[in-house]
Homo-oligomer: A and B are copies of this chain.
Amino acid sequence: MNDNKQSREIDTERRILEASAKVFMMKGKLGASMQDIADEAGINRTLLHYYFRNKDKLFDTVFEKVFARLIPAMVSIMTSDQPFQERLEQFVEAYSDMLLENPYLPVFVFQEISLNPHRIAETLKEQGFSPKKTFKKFRSELEEAGMDDMDPRHLFASLLGMVIFPYIGRPLFQTIAFQDDAKAYDAFLDERKKQIPQLLKLAFIGASVQKQ
């Protein structure tokens, strides 16, 4: 082993964080024991305490890192200056890909913010994300794009819901609508990347028709 202490430290810390994220997401904060995490990381349990004093501190660190994965796509759809239809497609694509790699993320995050709602404001600040400003910009850009008759907050809630639900509700939905065929469900998830923007596009067309 030709590691110096510093690289050893960094490596161990990274391994702990990766293992923690994985185990916390799969088992939940309370379902995951420090031993589980240590095993996943291939280290001694006490080492977790050495690096992160206690379970809460470890969890907080992990939560922020995991939560951060939700931000980039959100920022991009709210601030990019491309045509709306394209932003929409990019957003759905980016979010879907992220969820495909982190299927347990939404349940994990929503569970935690449900138990601990005050955490959100803090975490968002920590991530350097300014909700008020960003959302205002989104709103005004939408108006400029001539979608002023569709409340951006409803639009955004619908969009997020449509994207996220199939991941959150997978076990349920795969059972009732796909007879538990996992492969078919994967294909379904992929199709949604096109279906969701398409549905919204049709709604825009419908709206413009009704306007006249």
Contacts and interface: CB of A to CB of B under 8 A. Distances in A.
Given A163-B161, A164-B161, A176-B135, A169 B124 contact: no
Interface string A113-126: 11101001100100
A115 B124 CA distance: 27
26 contacts: A28-B30, A111-B111, A113-B171, A113-B172, A114-B171, A121-B175, A124-B175, A124-B176, A135-B176, A151-B195, A154-B191, A157-B165, A157-B169, A157-B173, A158-B158, A158-B195, A161-B161, A161-B162, A161-B166, A164-B165, A202-B205, A202-B207, A203-B203, A204-B206, A205-B205, A209-B209
A158 B196 contact: yes
Interface string A100-122: 00001001001101110100110
A98 to B, nearest CB: 16
Interface residues of A, number: 60
A58 interface: no
Q: Tell which of A31, A121, A176 has the most Cβ of chain B within 10 Å.
A: A176
A116 B210 CA distance: 46
Given A160-B169, A163-B161, A171-B117, A131 B176 contact: yes
Q: Is the interface of A mostly helix, strand, loop or mixed?
A: helix
Nearest to A151: B195
A163 to B, nearest CB: 7
Nearest to A134: B176
A83 B101 CA distance: 40
Contacts of A205: 202, 205-206, 209-210
B124 A28 contact: no
B158 A162 contact: yes
A17 to B, nearest CB: 22
A178 B178 CA distance: 37
